[in-house]
Amino acid sequence: MYSSLSNTGFILIGISLMSAFSISSSIFYLIHYSIVNLTIFLALISLGYLYPKDFRSC
């Protein structure tokens, strides 16, 4: 939870500088952060399907 707050701070710092480079860097960081979090979330879901805790689905 706290990492989301710090990442939001990084994005807001870039936007608050109001230069074209900082805004494009903030957008890139936001897209990168979203892709990485989605990938990790999907990997954990797939691991849950590969290694179920209950063996009723085997």
pLDDT digits (tens, 9 = 90+) for 23-46: 999 999 999 999 999 999 999 999
Gap between the Cα atoms of 52 and 25, Å rounded? 40
The CA distance from 8 to 2, in Å, is: 10
Quick one: which of 47, 7, 55 has its CA closest to 31? 7
Between 4 and 37, the higher pLDDT residue:
37
- Could you count the other beta carbons within 10 Å of the beta carbon of residue 27? 13
* The pLDDT value given to residue 35: 96
The answer to whether the CB of 24 falls within 8 A of the CB of 15 is no
Q: What is the mean predicted confidence (pLDDT) over 15-30?
A: 94
The span from the CA of 28 to the CA of 2, in Å, is: 21
Give the residue, 55 or 6, on which the prediction is more confident. 6
